[in-house]
Chain A
Amino acid sequence: MMADSGSPEEQVAVIGNTDITPTESENNIINTMVEKGTSVLKKLEINVAEAEKRTGKNTVNMQETYTVYLVETRPSETVPSVSPPPTPDTLWRRYSEFELLRTYLLVTYPYIIIPPLPEKRAEFVWHKLSADNLDPDFVERRRVGLENFLLRVMSHPVLCKDKIVFLFLTEEKRWRDAVLETGFQDKADSRLKSLSAMFRVKSPDKRFTALKQYSDELNTAISQLLRVRARVADRLYGVYKVHGNYGRVFSEWSAIEKEMGDGLQSAGHHMDTYAASIDDILEEEEHYADQLKEYLFYTEAVRSVCRKHELIQYELEVAAQDLASKKQQREELATGMVRVFSLKGMTSKLFGQESQEQRESRLAALEQSIQEGEQALKEKNAECQEFVQTAWEDIERFKEQKDRDLREALISYAIMQISMCKKGIQVWSNAKECFNKM
């Protein structure tokens, strides 16, 4: 199905690419938008319209099959529009490009909980679900997930103003160069660095420690929930499908009965219906699992912010320590007091006192370095404070969003369960009617 629709969509994409003028004018729009600081989502409608399978050569010249997703953006109707109705701007993106965008955001906005991407490989699946990346159902769920990612980014007060994000939506080819030009990769903190920071921070911020603990708990809770849900789905599937056997047996049995025959036969049909109904039920429930998965992956984003905070905190502490040791040196030098066990004291005792000039110049150098250190500490302190402030703002926003989303997810789950019950009651009532006619 997707392969068939491929060629016309390709053309649309090509038109979008070659037509430079509208893109440029849109570039202007974003510039003004950034200035005004309004949310892009208010001016643009974004959706990931469809997915398509493609085959091509990768970087090491190996044949590979991959999926591309059609990203559509169009000015929203609420904007006082130009006379001809705007046509959507469309372009194709691979999952790896979404990944690149997210990595860029992660590095550029360390204090923001960056929305997660849908899973790369299907996890927490129950047996009937395919774990194949090219499976149509998986691709479809990922398409929804990618769209959701873009919507989350575009509705974020800070991220939506990012120029690279806008280019991602509007420039199919040029975007990649633009994102690499930002040099975000150089700024990327190595994991090793942050890991060592985690163990060496002396006075961690209690709020962040608590947040980290919470995100760990949430991670455990959701992953456990997803695992058990998959098992529950497995069993439920079994219960329904085994009932389907009644359909066949009732129909065979009806052949040897007189009065009971018709009732049995039609009851058998209802059992078939019952067995078939579970497919849709579980398909729908997969949406609930995806909602939970998003928050499972969000926990990683939260932890990333915590890690960044630790790194900054660590740098601050190192600067403070450095300054303190320099100050101590100055004190020692100025007073001539030598600590009993210091190595310097030993050397001076062994090799005799240094000259007054030497002391003067060393003192001056130290003074200079202390001043620099104080400046650095001030900067670090400011950086840290700003980080904490902006990060906490975003964390508060995230918490609200999470509570709202999960509550809604639970409500929709309950609605799903009710509709499943209603279906069950319907089928069994029909079957009962047939049994009564026997």
Chain B
Amino acid sequence: MSVGAQRGLASSGQKHIAEILHPLSAADESLSPGPDVTVTAGGDKEAGLSNGTPVDTPSPASASSLFNRLQLDDDIESDPRDYYDSTETRDLFVTVDDPKKHVSTMETYITYRVSTKTTRIEFDLPEYCVRRRYQDFDWLRIKLEDSQPTHLIPPLPEKFVMKGVVDRFSEEFVGTRMKALDKFLKRVADHPVLSFNPHLNAFLSAKDLNKRQGLALLTKVGESVKHVTGGYKLRARPPEFCAMGEYLDTFSQKLGTIDRIAQRILKEQSEHLTELRDYGAVYSNWTGSEGELQRPLEGVASSVSTCCGAMDELCENMGQDFLPVLREYMLYIESMKNVLKKRDQSQAEYEGRLEAALLRKQEDRTPMPPEVERCQDKVECFNADLKADWERWQSNKRQDFKQLLGGMADKNINYYEKCQAAWESLINVLQDKQTEDQTSETD
């Protein structure tokens, strides 16, 4: 029964893809071992989707991307840092910046500038510059997820913001979202397979993105149904995928705790800042009734105010750089779990079909139907892609957290250094005054 459900859903997915004339529908029928081939096939028929620069490059991309992937795997085993640090092997650079607000009678929204520099032959020009809004990024992600089901798609920042709680057009919100979108696009562009996806090409280069409105929602619904039906017990899930699942569970739990701690620290720090501002003001007020002590008190007030500035900076950094990265990783974990689930489903489908085929074989000795083999291929392809993506993700994560936590330490050091400098300069002022007094006394 579960097998039937699986099949039905799979076909619904295919139908959706077919609707937008996506070549993957064909590719799905004749699943070949490598997903790269799928992508290339997509590239051939891209004209139908994009009204921007049509991409009609032949297959070399597939071979090179496959090579890239293998090379990457090797790289990861030797020293993954080299890969991420060097830009030489990369040939696609994207940046998201310059948010702009658009106000029309219908709606108000923000667009971001997406700039591309590339040497890839799939692109007509070496440079592109387009404006995209959040919806467009969302479209791209859905397309990637649909056309590259075996791959881990990086997460987008949360779509739904509670109205009233967060101002969607505030500089802070837009800035944070922009950074997250930039990160998303960079992760896609750095991916050996995803970066060759024709939808990405269209997203980066097309003047007007011809995406069919309303489809996005439909896909989401289809997907969530798929997840509910994923209850089939696998006969033998490979241990490495079990380990991945366990790792993700623990990691997301720890990340959740870190997020809570960081938020609490931010809260304590902002409250500390409020009190500190009052504290400085008290010293300033005091100066009014003093003669000799006026300068020392003013000095303390100004040191406290310098500390306030440093603390303000620390808080800002925490809120705008630290917390969003944690959020992104929590979403990333969700994406990863999603892919793991899909892999399980594909294995389940294969096992179901195999079981059914074996049963029939015993009864009427018919040969193994070809779709069973196709399913097996799909599972194997899934496993390979997932393992590769996992390695990439792990290595990315290590790099990102090293940077994030190191950054946190740096910001704190910076904060203390600023405060220290402020107090040291105060001491100089106070002690100069004292020696002055002493010398005048001896005179």
Contacts and interface: CB of A to CB of B under 8 A. Distances in A.
Interface string B397-416: 01001100110011011011
Contacts of B279: 225, 228-229, 232
Nearest to B433: A407
A429 B272 contact: no
A228 B247 CA distance: 46
Contacts of A259: 398
B268 A238 contact: yes
B434 A407 contact: yes
A252 B424 CA distance: 39
Identify whether the interface residues of B are mostly helix, strand, loop, or mixed. Answer: helix
Contacts of A238: 268, 271-272
B413 A410 contact: no
Contact of B419 (A249, A406, A421): A421
B409 A429 contact: yes
A260 B401 contact: yes
Interface string B270-304: 01100110110011011011011100110110010
A239 B272 contact: yes
B402 A438 contact: yes
A382 interface: no
Nearest to B280: A228
Contacts of A207: none
Nearest to B425: A414
A15 interface: no
Interface string A361-402: 000000000000000000000000000000000000000000
Given A246-B261, A428-B413, A436 B406 contact: yes
Nearest to B263: A242
A217 B288 CA distance: 9
Interface string B251-267: 10010011001001100
A425 B289 CA distance: 36
B32 to A, nearest CB: 34
B286 A253 contact: no
A428 B417 CA distance: 11
Most buried by A among B272, B300, B430, B433: B272
Interface in A246-266: 246, 249, 252-253, 256, 259-260
B420 A425 contact: yes
B285 A436 contact: no
Contacts of A242: 261, 264-265, 268
A366 B423 CA distance: 72
B431 interface: yes
Interface string A220-246: 011011001101101110110011011
B205 to A, nearest CB: 38
A275 to B, nearest CB: 11
Given A228-B282, A407-B430, A414-B430, A243 B265 contact: yes
Contact of A425 (B286, B297, B417, B427): B417
A413 interface: yes
A239 B415 CA distance: 14
Contact of A225 (B283, B292, B398, B424): B283
A224 B282 contact: yes
Nearest to A241: B268
Nearest to B243: A256
Contacts of B430: 407, 410-411, 414
A428 B416 contact: yes
A75 B442 CA distance: 31
B405 A435 contact: yes
Interface string B192-204: 0000000000000
Interface string A406-438: 110011011101100110110011011001101
A422 B293 CA distance: 27
A236 B291 CA distance: 32
B250 interface: yes
B416 A252 contact: no
A64 interface: no
A288 to B, nearest CB: 11
Contact of A428 (B268, B285, B412, B427): B412
A86 to B, nearest CB: 34
A198 interface: no
Contacts of A296: none
A218 interface: yes
A256 B247 contact: yes
A256 B250 contact: yes
B337 to A, nearest CB: 15
A307 B412 CA distance: 52
A174 B16 CA distance: 104
B269 interface: yes
A407 B293 contact: yes
Contacts of A232: 272, 275-276, 279
A253 B405 CA distance: 14
A267 interface: yes
Nearest to B297: A410
Contacts of A411: 427, 430-431
B406 A432 contact: yes
B114 interface: no
B423 A421 contact: yes
A234 B279 CA distance: 13
Contact of B251 (A229, A235, A253, A432): A253
Contacts of A235: 268, 271-272, 275-276
A242 B268 CA distance: 8
A214 interface: yes
A436 B272 contact: no
B156 interface: no
Contacts of A35: none
A403 interface: yes
Nearest to B247: A256
Contacts of B247: 256
B426 interface: yes
A144 to B, nearest CB: 23
A438 B398 contact: yes
26 contacts: A217-B288, A221-B285, A224-B282, A228-B278, A236-B272, A243-B261, A245-B264, A246-B258, A249-B254, A249-B258, A253-B250, A256-B251, A260-B398, A414-B423, A414-B430, A417-B419, A417-B420, A417-B423, A422-B416, A424-B412, A424-B415, A432-B406, A432-B413, A435-B402, A438-B401, A438-B402
The 5 closest A-B pairs by CB, nearest first: A235-B272, A432-B409, A421-B420, A424-B416, A217-B289
Interface of B: 247, 250-251, 254, 257-258, 261, 264-265, 268-269, 271-272, 275-276, 278-279, 282-283, 285-286, 288-289, 291-293, 296-297, 299-300, 303, 398, 401-402, 405-406, 409-410, 412-413, 415-417, 419-420, 423-424, 426-427, 430-431, 433-434
Given A425-B413, A432-B410, 8 more contacts: A221-B285, A225-B279, A249-B254, A253-B254, A411-B430, A428-B413, A432-B406, A438-B402
